[in-house]
Amino acid sequence: MKERLKIVSGGQTGVDRATLDAALEAGVPAGGWCPRGRLAEDGTIPERYPLKELKGGYLARTERNVVDSDGTLIIHFGPLSGGTAHTLEFCQKHHKPCLLVDGGTTPPEEAVERVRRFIAENGIGVLNVAGPRASGSRAAYPYTRRLIGLLLAG
């Protein structure tokens, strides 16, 4: 799987950072767009994350990552809200395939099979991964790190 996949995310705490950490650890190409000033809820996004800055803020970053990818995986924990909800709206607006995984009800070991099918069925070479920031869900980082780690290991 990892031989032909690039992972993009926005660099925010939680799902975004877990995604980038898992990709970088696995040696998979990673990147994406982040807001001007590398802005995140915990301050400045560390330079180790290979992100490009946009002139706009969070919403512009979210839309650009959707547009520049072949499909989006949205990891959530209950009802969608904030930027996670906007991600789904942008996928619909731009007619991009999207898979929602509820980390509150689906173990990573089960979710990874759904993600693999989604990638294969939609011919995805660049996968955008989005979801709540750390302050929105304490499970966001550990769940996503495990799921993306499993995806890129197999």
40 C-beta neighbours (distance < 10 Å), count: 22
Q: What is the pLDDT of residue 4?
A: 84
Give the pLDDT confidence of 73-113 residue by residue, as tens digits: 999 999 999 999 999 999 999 999 999 999 999 999 999 99
Instruction: Categorize the per-residue pLDDT at 122 as very low, low, confident or very high, splitting at 50, 70 and 90.
Output: very high
pTM: 0.96
Closest to 137 measured CA to CA, from 75, 60, 87: 75
Domain ranges in the chain? 2-153
Strands 52-53 and 33-34: parallel
Q: Which CATH entry fits the domain spanning 2-153: 3.40.50.450, 3.30.70.1400, 3.30.2420.10, 3.10.150.10? A: 3.40.50.450
Phi, psi of 127 (to 5 degrees): -105, 120
C-alpha span between 29 and 26 (Å, rounded): 9
